[in-house]
Amino acid sequence: MTQGTYVEDEFQRDTTYIEDRVTTDGAGEHEWPAEPGRYRLVVARACPWANRAIIVRRLLGLEDAISMGLCGPTHDSDSWTFDLDPDGLDPVLGIPRLKDAYEKRFPGYPRGITVPALVDIASGRVVTNDFAPMTLDFSTQWREHHRAGAPDLYPEPLREEMDVVMRRVYTEVNNGVYRCGFAGTQAAYEDAYERLFTALDWLEERLADRRYLMGETITEADVRLFTTLARFDAVYHGHFKCNRSKLTEMPVLWAYARDLFQTPGFGDTTDVVQIKSHYYEVHRDINPTGVVPAGPDLTGWGTPHGREALGGRPFGDGTPPGPPAPAERVPTAHNPLVGADGLVRR
């Protein structure tokens, strides 16, 4: 669900979220303790902000500590819903709409019902929907519950530079595609378009001689960029008019995106059928007919990328995650590169 307003016909995302955090001991004001089994991460595979939480949870091996509820790809103006589950009810929370968890804590909640959201299972109340710190907290506050071999996605020596890079990726790319798609005038669109492709050109240059955004290993910065790149040709190029170049026509970014897609945790969490369903069916102001395009062909995501020549170790001193749990696997029909074990075939 896209929250935003217009200022001089430019789309501006509403970034007012529930700022509670889950921390190691939960000792601070508006903090909750990191207790395994206490929270349910509610997501939708279609949403790029939720997709990053799915990826980080999987890379760190937090599946046993934080359960995951999956909403369907479409929603109405009221709420994301659990229409993929039997009887339309989340099997753990027992609710049909994510809004119910928001209302349980904040009756008459006045803002949009967004994913990802962490919900306290016992009380049924939403804890936070503040997606940016949520995944950083998965790395730093849940460390005791990471799997053996989990990568360090937010390494301390890189944090100052990482924060700068991630801020530019967010403002110019992650949110930049939305500024193009929801621009209210030609001038606002053209400004957003120019900013987006200036940033993509910067990323082409940055990644030309380094395998990942911060160097030799995958970090949260790569997770945040990947979720936009994974949707670029299927949605943003046409639906959001980000059409100077397709991802497949940007050689460095295309190779980088394929490298990540073929890495456990990335492509195996990507459901292109749900992604297209969400954008083309929900955004009727942009696509009044609700017709969902049949393409693009996804087989190119499995082709060799050649990024190994730059060196690097994807997981640093750690190891890749194992196959996803059967209940959390993307259907092969939704991603033809995903095998029966839930992993991407090369």
Tell me the binding residues for glutathione: 80
Digit-coded pLDDT (tens) for 100-156: 999 999 999 999 999 999 999 999 999 999 999 999 999 999 999 999 999 999 999
273 belongs to a structural domain: yes
Judge whether 340 lies within some domain: no
Name the domain boundary from 98, 123, 145.
145
Do residues 123 and 164 both lie within one domain?
no
Last residue of a domain, one of 145, 176, 199: 145
* Residues 111 and 162 both lie in one domain: no
Which pLDDT tens digit goes with each residue over 208-258? 999 999 999 999 999 999 999 999 999 999 999 999 999 999 999 999 999
What are residue 67's DSSP bridge partners?
Answer: 40
74 contacts 303 by C-beta, under 8 angstroms: no
Tell me: do 210 and 127 sit in the same domain: no
Integer-rounded Cα Rg, in Å, for the chain is: 19
Residue 97 inside a domain? The answer is yes
Domain assignment present for 345: no
Statement: the pTM of the whole predicted model exceeds 0.75: yes
Shared domain check, 96 and 76: yes
71 counts as catalytic: no
DSSP string across 99-137: HHHHHHHSTT--S---SSEEEETTTTEEEE--HHHHHHH
Q: Are 92 and 114 in the same domain?
A: yes
83 in the same domain as 55: yes
- Residues 81, 211, single domain; the answer is no
180 is catalytic: no
pLDDT at residue 11 greater than cutoff 70: no
Instruction: Tell me the per-residue pLDDT of 45-87, one tens digit each, with 9 for 90 and over.
Output: 999 999 999 999 999 999 999 999 999 999 988 899 999 999 9
CATH of the domain at 112: 3.40.30.10
Q: Note the pLDDT of residue 346.
A: 76
CA separation for the pair 338, 144 (Å, rounded): 31
Angle at which helix 220-231 crosses helix 48-60, to 10 degrees, equals 140
Q: Which domain holds residue 294?
A: 156-328
**pLDDT reading at 6 higher than 90:** no
The active-site residue out of 102, 154, 178, 193 is 178
Same-domain status, 137 and 9: yes
Q: Is 335 domain-assigned? A: no
| CATH of residue 200 | 1.20.1050.10
Tell me whether residue 339 is in a domain. Answer: no
Is residue 130 located within the same domain as residue 166? no
272 and 160 co-located in one domain: yes
User: Structural domain tally of the chain?
Assistant: 2
* Residue 31, domain member (yes or no): yes
**Do 246 and 126 have their domain in common?**
no
Final residue before a domain boundary, out of 145, 170, 204: 145
Give CA angle at 172 (314, 167), nearest 5°.
Answer: 60
Q: Are residues 140 and 160 in the same domain?
A: no
Considering the domain boundaries, does residue 275 fall inside one? yes
Burial state string for 285-321 with b = 16 or more CB within 10 A and e = fewer than 16: eebeeeeeeeebebeebbeebebeebebebbbebeeb
Say if CB 11 and CB 178 are below 8 A apart.
yes
